[in-house]
Amino acid sequence: MNDETNDFAPSAPVGKTFKFSSVGDSVNGYVESVSQRIPLNKFGTDVQDVDNSGNPRWQRVITLATPDGGESDDGLRTVWMPVGSQMSTAIGDAMKRAGAATGNPASGAFLKLTFARTRPSKFGNPAKIYVAEYTQPANTQAKQVPEAAANTWPTNGNGWAPPTQNNAPAPWQQ
């Protein structure tokens, strides 16, 4: 008997889902986890979507530990990233600029993702264009981030800022 069902499905992502509704919307934080590929369903259905060639479409869930939060909010934010999308390309390009190995963003890495603009699309709705910034965890070897680039990243007004390549992880990351 060949039973390939998955009796051990992963739990739902933790944290609030971050929605990129308007140009300029941005989320940043330390990567907590990146899910395995999960099916990307057609909107409002349980049917997996396919591309123009009939291939199944997939997505990953990235969970970030952000400076947002409070008593009733753990600060975790999830981003649903369609595999092969412009969002995934922006993240991959940012990882490449940071000298990261190919693959998923590393746990403990700093990631900032911004909905930068839209462009016309032949599929009806305008395509969302994203910009990503990525800093590897302190325990990995990487090329240096130019000091000017590191100093241009915003803070949330409370002194919380992304790390430079040489900074140690925050105490809660160790």
21-69 pLDDT, tens per residue?
999 999 999 999 999 999 999 988 999 999 889 999 999 999 999 988 7
Collapsed DSSP state (helix, strand, coil) of residue 103: coil
97-137 pLDDT, tens per residue?
999 988 899 999 999 999 999 999 887 889 999 999 999 99
Say yes or no to pLDDT of 170 above 90. Answer: no
Q: Which residue has the higher pLDDT, 173 or 140?
A: 140
Global confidence as pTM: 0.71
pLDDT for the residue 162: 54
Buried-exposed string 108-129: b where 16+ CB fall within 10 A, e elsewhere: bbbbbbbbbeeeeeeeeeeebb
pLDDT for the residue 9: 52
49 CB-contact burial (10 Å; exposed 0-12 / middle 13-18 / buried 19+): middle
Q: Which residue has the higher pLDDT, 104 or 153?
A: 104
154 CB-contact burial (10 Å; exposed 0-12 / middle 13-18 / buried 19+): exposed
